[in-house]
Structure 1
Amino acid sequence: MSRHLIRTVREHEDSVDGPDQAGRPILSLRDAEVRTADGTKLLTVASLDVLAGQRIAVTGPSGSGKSLLLSTLSGRWPVGLSLTGERTTRLRRIGFVPQRGLDALHPLVPLARQLRTVTGADPARVGTVLAAVGLDDPALHRRRPTELSGGQAQRASVALAALTDAPLILADEPTSALDHESRDQTLRLLEEIVGPRQTLVVATHDLAVVRTLGARHLAVSDGVVSELVPGAGPGAVPGVGPGSSR
């Protein structure tokens, strides 16, 4: 089949949560390109394997294609864009943490009730996860997201992603609007709330995120995704290998 013809996404029934899944790809891209309706190429990924339990940082300047890579990993693209190549996954659930926490939440539905309704989690678990992200005040649970501060809404979006129990969590510039202290706090929350068998992919323009997470490092430049190998200097190596898992 031509690499310019879209291939069917293959979803498998096997679990990605067992201990035997460590080191196995949960999502792969091969000869993947995202194009506009007129054929303009916006993103190119020659080969990428995302493994269970990895921490992956995606860096690059604004407009380079970081968010589009996350869209490609999630399998959802903005209207008018299409994928050619192959996207293979065993996942049925993917969590997402947006740049602005409010973008993940209904603005008018009280927080705790909203998280219970969206995820199906029982009240006790919702309370536990909200407490884990620093929102343990019951008064906050009854507030609408529009009544939360920006930092509180961001924490709530992390809690929402965690409550989905998704094997893969994508976070799109979750610290870009935060000061250094709040950035580090949010990263710690993500690292603590995302379990060791879950995979976390964070898009960022901040190299401190790479250092803080101790993450595998993908770089996007003019829509081309490459993997940066630690200690290899400024040169980029195409993302053809799994990299380190943590």
Structure 2
Amino acid sequence: MHVLILGGTGEARRLAGLLCDAGVTSLRVTSSLAGRVAEPRLPPGEVRVGGFGGPEGLAAWLRAHAVDALIDATHPFAGTISFNAARAAAEAHVPLLALRRPGWVPGAGDRWHPAGSLEEAAALLPALGRRVFLTTGRMGLAAFARLDALWFLMRSVDAPEPPFPAAMEVLLDRGPFTLEGEREVLRTHRIDVLVTKDSGGAATAPKLAAAREAGIPVVVVRRPPVPDGVERAATPEEAAAWVRRFTG
């Protein structure tokens, strides 16, 4: 049996490890990475890097490599590949599972401001603060490029490309992050507003706790929906159990 994991997340690596460690010699596990990170953390099993050429290309790859099950374990905000996966799986008649970590939930003391897109997040910022901690990744910075009156600290794994805000400092770092480390970032850079996507998970959640402690408002960009009709799992363990339904 051949399982293709659309990966790039910690959950995808964990799932690949679970499947490779299961001791099923007849199970072939391939992880596909988009190639947007210069030095990605590679999962166990076989790995391919790069795009497929849209849903038609992915469907052709599924057929050519005799894929028996497809798992979309991409980032919650990788919306395009998720819809491509749904179309490709339907075309190739391959069962599809979406592995999505639960989103974050505001707690007592949180000052969250929801936004439907990066553009909506940018529109909220002038009324909330002047020194912005931007943790939405290096893609989509054009939405903030015209906010000349604000200063940005942008954190990402790899350096961004323009267009981006003129008054911006780049912090190259990779999670998981600690609460004390996030407190220090807010203090050192005198941050008064945080922008994040609702990625969920524990690896990057400490920034939310640090913002709560400091009384800093947080602009939270809502995640895109999973395609209709796609079965879902919340953890790698649930996804591994889904695979075992096919392998016995």
Place the TM-score, normalised by the shorter chain, in its bin.
under 0.3
TM-score, length-scaled by structure 2: 0.26
TM-score, length-scaled by structure 1: 0.26
Q: Could you say which structure has the higher strand fraction?
A: 1
For the pair shown, which has the larger CA radius of gyration, 1 or 2? 2
